[in-house]
Amino acid sequence: MNTEEYRKQFTEDDAVGWECIDQELEKIYPDQEPLHFAPPLHYVAGGNDPLDGISVYKSEK
């Protein structure tokens, strides 16, 4: 994919990296809706946790 194709497919509001990660996790944990956790106040807004949030999947491993 070149830059022009990328710009046609995605906008600045798309989280392309996050979408790619979600696609791969769907292969590992099919048909599973993960639990999502986020800090009450994001780091950029003055919170203490530099993570914006996490997703948790059930696993037998």
Residue 52 pLDDT more than 90? no
Whole-angstrom CA distances from 10 to 18, 41, 47 are 13, 28, 30
Mean pLDDT of 11-36: 92
- State phi, psi for 5 to the nearest 5 degrees: -65, -40
pLDDT band at 1 (very low <50, low <70, confident <90, very high): confident
Rounded mean pLDDT, 10-32 = 91
pLDDT value of residue 41: 94
Q: Tokens 């906008």 sit at which residue? A: 11
For 3-17, b/e burial (b = at least 16 CB within 10 A) is eeeeeeeeeeeeeee
Q: Which two tokens stand for residue 38?
A: 């986020």
Q: Is the pTM of this model over 0.85?
A: no
Mean pLDDT of 41-50: 92
